[in-house]
Chain A
């Protein structure tokens, strides 16, 4: 009994450490990558050595800022919204496998649980947008809800394709069943999953709910200081979650060129950061979609492709 409790505590602590470090690393990566791509000087100087202290400086800045709650806001909901936005991602970190046996909690239907929890994240955004008592916030929240409800569909359908191929809903089980040729077989699903994942975490070019040139800053307009930083952290945690899910479902998770069992965690991390880099790269490379284009892409491109992929998966599965 004692050993089980200690092991459980260790696993939860591991997930917590991952939750506290990986998003910050992705944040630093974003600063550096964007600075190089756009020729920005700020993130090159802070701290002297290649701008290593940029994120620390950001943190200090956020802590110093005044906490402002608008007078007309629904104060309780306004204060709770960042936590409601962040908590789902924290739970997802418990379920993502890092290596063989290296997982916070291996569930029989881990994939389903992850999708269900990620879907709940929208509530935090709706809370923030409505309780701010600001029309730009509300518009941002409504855009976000419409976007998330739409993109949930291709997100789940493309994940279902992999689950069908692997014959299991368990995330470690999917990695076990994965073979290199699935890269080709599941390629359309991978693209659909990645794109709708970007939309799920509201990253550019799908940042219509924030759209700083139209809606001030969307549902984050009224947030300052640490609460804003928490939303930012949720965004980076979202990048890690989407990258890790893409890695586990489509890129073979801990399977690498050699020594899967000893170095599995390293292959996973390398893949997660490679996908995160693509997420950041896409932000720099593409302009924001217009609201109607956003919905068209979802319903007329992603959903049909995901459905076609399901048919393809089923056919190959039956023939083999």
Chain B
């Protein structure tokens, strides 16, 4: 076991454990805070795999914006301190869907790579990702930006005051 193996195992365990806490804790806001830990540990995994840019994008977008927005929305509506009993969670379907997709993805991964060893690619620096996005994948990038623009316009239309 190298240092990398140990690190990625520890971070993976941290991500998995805190993810389980996200779905099992009865404290609504604490679930959001555990999500911060999960996503942070995931960013750490990316970092260990030398995907630097992806790791920091994960921090900036998911931890710094998405979870904060989520916490903001929860606190704005209903955020009791302490455990809440009436949480509407359908346990068994969730276990079925979550466990099923995890097993399917794991089986797919094992089936695809079985015993082949993979040479690690060059580190995912900003320069490399930038070159890949703007040289090889310009069209998907532009299509995605159109999609985002459409979502933005939609959000403005939905939130604008209605004229009668």
Contacts and interface: CB of A to CB of B under 8 A. Distances in A.
Interface stretch (A118-126, A252-260, A275-283, A306-314): A118-126
A70 B127 CA distance: 50
A192 B127 CA distance: 27
A97 to B, nearest CB: 18
Contacts of A113: 56
A23 interface: no
Contact of A109 (B36, B52, B64): B52
B26 interface: no
Nearest to A78: B81
B71 interface: yes
A200 B79 CA distance: 25
Interface string B23-41: 0000101100100100000
Q: Interface residues of A toward B: which range? A: 20 to 34
B75 interface: yes
Determine which residue in A107, A113, A116 has the highest number of CB atoms from chain B within 10 A of its CB, and name it.
A116
A108 B52 contact: yes
Interface string B64-98: 11011101100110010110000000000000000
Contact of A142 (B30, B65, B72): B72
Contacts of A142: 72, 75-76
B68 A149 contact: yes
A145 interface: yes
A138 B64 CA distance: 19
Given A73-B81, A130-B29, A123 B69 contact: no
A126 B68 contact: yes
Interface in A50-77: 72-74, 77
B42 to A, nearest CB: 14
Contacts of A116: 56-57, 59-60, 64
Given A74-B82, A119-B60, A123-B36, A130 B67 contact: no
Contact of B64 (A77, A127, A133, A152): A152
A128 B102 CA distance: 35
Given A122-B64, A149-B68, A152-B64, A74 B59 contact: no
Contact of B33 (A72, A112, A127, A145): A127
Nearest to B74: A130
B75 A130 contact: yes
B75 A126 contact: yes
Interface in A88-140: 107-109, 112-113, 115-117, 119-120, 122-123, 126-127, 129-131, 133, 138
Nearest to A72: B81
A151 to B, nearest CB: 12
Given A73-B81, A77-B30, A108-B126, A117 B59 contact: yes
B63 interface: yes
A303 interface: no
Nearest to B53: A109
B101 interface: no
A122 B76 contact: no
Contact of B59 (A77, A119, A145, A152): A119
A213 to B, nearest CB: 23
A123 B81 contact: no
A138 B36 contact: no
Contacts of B125: 108-109
B52 A126 contact: no
B72 A123 contact: no
A119 B67 CA distance: 11
Contacts of A218: none
B60 A149 contact: no
B68 A169 contact: no
A146 B72 contact: yes
A141 B72 CA distance: 9
A77 B27 CA distance: 12
Contacts of A131: 81
A148 B71 CA distance: 13
B81 A133 contact: yes
Determine which residue in B30, B33, B125 has the highest number of CB atoms from chain A within 10 A of its CB, and name it.
B33
B25 to A, nearest CB: 12
A90 to B, nearest CB: 15
Given A72-B81, A109-B125, A148-B68, 17 more contacts: A77-B29, A108-B52, A108-B126, A109-B56, A113-B56, A116-B60, A116-B64, A119-B60, A120-B59, A123-B71, A126-B71, A126-B72, A130-B79, A133-B81, A142-B72, A152-B64, A152-B65
